[in-house]
Structure formats: structure tokens, C-alpha cells
Amino acid sequence: MCFQQKMIHSLFLINCSGDIFLEKHWKSVVSQSVCDYFFEAQEKAIDVENVPPVISTPHHYLISIYRDKIFFVSVIQTEVPPLFVIEFLHRVADTFQDYFGECSETAIKDNVVIVYELLEEMLDNGFPLATESNILKELIKPPTILRSVVNSITGSSNVGDTLPTGQLSNIPWRRAGVKYTNNEAYFDVIEEIDAIIDKSGSTVFAEIQGVIDSCIKLSGMPDLSLSFMNPRLLDDVSFHPCIRFKRWESERVLSFIPPDGNFRLISYRVSSQNLVAIPVYVKHLISFKENSSSGRFDVTIGPKQNMGKTVEGVVMTVHMPKAVLNMNLTATQGSYTFDPVTKVLAWDVGKITPQKLPNLKGIVNLQSGAPKPEENPSLNIQFKIQQLAISGLKVNRLDMYGEKYKPFKGVKYITKAGKFQVRT
């Protein structure tokens, strides 16, 4: 008898201090000791983020993701597509998030039975079975305070006992018989700017990662089509399975029967440099003097090309070199903290008013005797601009077919900094 497991053999959930707090085996039980290889790699990596996602051990492969301070470590025995496993693990984490409001060790431990039922429902013999939130929720009801009270009184369970309707239809993402009194459809166009700005302020690299997240609460089987003023912007798009690809190819219209509730409709990337406006600029002077165990720090942030909108929620974080002992700074706006252990400087600026640019300035104290730091810290900037999609993407109209009622529609735009780094 030979032994072969196509996909995920076992799953271990491990917290940051290295405790295995949940294990699930889809076939036979694999000893926890397999995780020792993971711990070894973790130790080597020093930083939790640097643990390699694929680790080989003498008899297994460990494929892991790191989400919300939890390592999801899956055990694999033979050749599999690692992306398949990684995607699946992220889906598991998403499901926990969806069910428990957060994907944390406490939440998982508090709902361990549901977690177990979910994992069993999501994977059969290594084949993903039901990963759509809609279907899962029909099979296993998410916990609510009210329900657990009701359950304990009535003795009813949180396991659905009929076959989910969407499971086998051509639209597995939507259940039948959805009913709302207020029919609503909201779309959030969220764009994140990933950029690397060099010392002199010119853009080394910039692109926009955009998504349209939707919250659809519509009764029945609505058939929606969403059109844009400037669909040409979208030339690199990933779609939710509900979108009819042909229609998009021929007419550049998003036509779909939506899932019920919250979901990501599309994600897209705009990379053409001239379309990526950089909304802020940073003036900086960070220098360390030779042999004097001190240095200067002077950073100003200002708005640029923000199309008349306010840049808000500005936060700057800097990983200072190891030799930095402390920082004595004055902020003209907001407040700053410096953690002498992690060497992270965080400056919460808030809103930028063009009349008075926020500035953070002062002295950096270095370890005495240590050589002048070689590396220059990069500045990590976060910000938000409401009511603006920086790429210029604009929704034209939303039409609904298939149902009679008139839904309430809303579109919101927001631009944020993604991985926005300024080199100094």
C-alpha cells in the first residue's frame, strides 16, 4: 500500500512565541515535531516576516503564510502547486476574519469547534470543497452572541442541515432566496500608491494598486452592470469569478450577478508612470557626523498634485540605524515616538495644511564610539485622500436587470499610500 496525499496533509497554527495552538489533519496524524523544521527556519530568519514560505524537510514540505501574527503552516507530502496552498491558507484566514470579526489566536481558540468544522468543510482529501463565504455560512452559521444564547436554550445547532443552494449552481457565489427590505449596492474604489522616491525627490518607481470592494444587499437574483467613464485605464485587471469576461472584453462593462454581502469585485493595476500622480513630497536632511556620536534630523512633508483634496491621516515611520540611541525632536504638528529597542521612529502628522507644512526636526544621539552608520534610513509614508481616485478612474453608471425594485446605489473613492517609500 502506498501513501500519497495530493494536497494539504495537515495544518498547524502557531503564534509568535512558537506555541502550536491548533492542529488539523486531513488524513493521518502528523506529529507536531515536523514543526521543528519551521522553528529552525524561524530562528534563522530572526524577523518573523523573513521566514521563507516554502521549507523542505526530509519527508515533508512546509508551506506557510504569516497573517495577523499567526503562522499558518501546512504540511505537504508531494508535488503540489505552492500558490494553490498559499491561496487556500489565505482563504482560511479570510474565513476566520469573516466569521469571528478578527483572525486572532483568541478568536480561534474561543471558536475552536467552529474552526474545526470550517476546516473540514473547506478541504476534502486535499481538494478545496467550499471556500465561498456564502456557502460556508449556510453550512456553518457564524457565532453571534444572540445565537449562542438561543442555541443553548433551544438546543438547536449552528450547523445547517440542508445543502447550500449556491454550491452547485453556475453561480456558486450567491445563495437563492436573498431578501432585504432596503436594497442597497455600494462600491468603494480604493487606490493605493506604491512608490519609491529617491534622495533627490524624483520617482524611481510608482504604480497604483486599485480595488473595487463592494457591499451588495439586493434581494433576489439581480444582474448588475457597472460602467466607467474611462475604462481604458483598466488594462491589467483581476476579476471576481462572477464577472462575465466576454462582456468586459467586448464592451468594457462589468456585468455580473453579485455575491451577497461584502466582496472584492475587481483589482487592477495602473503602472503607466504619467498616470501615477504623487500627492506628497518630502524634504529631508538626515546626517550623521563622523566621530561625534550625534546627527541631525530634519523632515518636512508637503502636498503636491492632490487635485484640491486634503491629504490626511499622514504617518511617517522610519527604521533608524542600529547605532541610534535616542532622538530629541520637535514636531510642529502631530506627535512622534521613538522606540529605542526596535529603533522605529513614528510620526503621526494628521492632516497637511498647505499654509503651514508639518516639520519634524532635532538631534539624533548615537552610541558613543560606534562607527557612523553606513545606511540611510528609508522613510515610510502613509496618507489618505478622500473622494479621489488618483488614477482618475470614475464610475459612470450602475444598471440593474432581473429585478423590479429600485436599489439605492453609492460609490465612494479613496486614495491611500501603499508601500510608499522615500529614500534618503
Partner 1 sequence: MTDSKYFTTTKKGEIFELKAELNSDKKEKKKEAVKKVIASMTVGKDVSALFPDVVNCMQTDNLELKKLVYLYLMNYAKSQPDMAIMAVNTFVKDCEDPNPLIRALAVRTMGCIRVDKITEYLCEPLRKCLKDEDPYVRKTAAVCVAKLHDINAQLVEDQGFLDTLKDLISDSNPMVVANAVAALSEIAESHPSSNLLDLNPQSINKLLTALNECTEWGQIFILDCLANYMPKDDREAQSICERVTPRLSHANSAVVLSAVKVLMKFMEMLSKDLDYYGTLLKKLAPPLVTLLSAEPELQYVALRNINLIVQKRPEILKHEMKVFFVKYNDPIYVKLEKLDIMIRLASQANIAQVLAELKEYATEVDVDFVRKAVRAIGRCAIKVEQSAERCVSTLLDLIQTKVNYVVQEAIVVIKDIFRKYPNKYESVIATLCENLDSLDEPEARAAMIWIVGEYAERIDNADELLESFLEGFHDESTQVQLQLLTAIVKLFLKKPTETQELVQQVLSLATQDSDNPDLRDRGYIYWRLLSTDPVAAKEVVLAEKPLISEETDLIEPTLLDELICYIGTLASVYHKPPSAFVEGSRGVVHKSLPPRTGSSESAESPDAAPSAGQAAEQPAVIPAQGDLLGDLLNLDLGPPVSGPPLAASSVQMGAVDLLGGGLDSLLRSDVGGSPAMGGSGFTAPGPAAPAAMGAPLGSGLGDLFDLTGGVGTLSGSYVAPKTVWLPAMKAKGLEISGTFSRQVGSICMDLVLTNKALQVMSDFAIQFNRNSFGLAPAAPLQVHAPLAPNQSVEISLPLNTVGSVMKMDPLNNLQVAVKNNIDVFYFSTLYPLHILFVEDGKMERQMFLATWKDIPNENEAQFQIKDCSLNADAVSSKLQGSNIFTIAKRNVEGQDMLYQSLKLTNGIWVLAELCIQPSNPSFTLSLKCRAPEVSQYVYQAYDAILKN
Q: Which of residues 12-31 bind partner 1 (CB under 8 A)?
A: 20-29
User: Which of residues 54 and 307 has its CB atom nearest to partner 1 in the complex?
Assistant: 54
Residues 6+ apart with CB under 8 A from 258: 174, 185, 214, 216, 218, 222, 224, 242, 265
Query: Residue from 36, 43, 68, 120 that binds partner 1 (CB under 8 A)?
Result: 120
Number of C-beta neighbours around residue 43 at 10 A: 10
Does 115 engage in binding with partner 1 (CB under 8 A)? yes
Which window, 62-70, 222-230, 252-260, 392-400, contacts partner 1 (CB under 8 A)?
A: 62-70
Q: Which of 172, 222, 279, 295 binds partner 1 (CB under 8 A)?
A: 172
Residues touching partner 1, count (CB under 8 A): 106
Through-space distance between the first and last CA atoms of the chain, rounded to whole angstroms: 62
Cα-Cα-Cα-Cα dihedral sign, residues 79, 80, 83, 89: negative
CA dist 300 → 127, 187, 333, 346 (Å): 53, 35, 11, 14
Q: Residues 247, 275: contact at Cβ < 8 Å?
A: no
Q: Interface with partner 1 includes 290 (CB under 8 A)? A: no
Read off the amino acid at residue 207: E
- In the range 185-244, which residues lie near partner 1 by CB under 8 A? 194, 196, 198, 204-205, 207, 209, 235-241
Annotate each residue in 297-336 with x if it binds partner 1 (CB under 8 A) or - if it does not, as one string: ----------------------x-xx--------------
Nearer to partner 1 among residue 287 and residue 332 (C-beta): 287
CB-nearer residue toward partner 1: 82 or 220: 82
Nearer CB in complex with partner 1: 261/350: 261
The neighbouring-strand residues paired with 299 are: 284, 360
Q: Which of residues 365-394 bind partner 1 (CB under 8 A)?
A: 374-376, 378, 380
If one asks whether residue 125 binds partner 1 (CB under 8 A), the answer comes out as: yes
Alpha carbon distance 91, 95 (integer Å) = 6
Q: Does 117 bind partner 1 (CB under 8 A)?
A: yes
Stretch that binds partner 1, among 123-131, 332-340, 381-389, 400-408 (CB under 8 A): 123-131
CB of residue 223 to partner 1, shortest distance in Å: 17
SS3 128: strand
The correct pick among 16, 18, 50, 368 for binding partner 1 (CB under 8 A) is: 50
Q: Which of 15, 37, 52, 416 is in the footprint of partner 1 by CB under 8 A?
A: 52
Q: Kindly write down the DSSP assignment for every residue of 2-69, as one continuous string.
A: -----SEEEEEEEETTS-EEEEEESSSPPPGGGHHHHHHHHHHH-SGGGS-SEEE-SS-EEEEEEETT
> 10 Å Cβ neighbour count for 371?
11
Q: Which is nearer to partner 1, 218 or 265 (CB)?
A: 265
* Alpha-carbon distance values, 181 to 172, 339, 406 (Å): 24, 51, 11
As measured in angstroms, the least distance from the Cβ of 247 to partner 1 is: 11
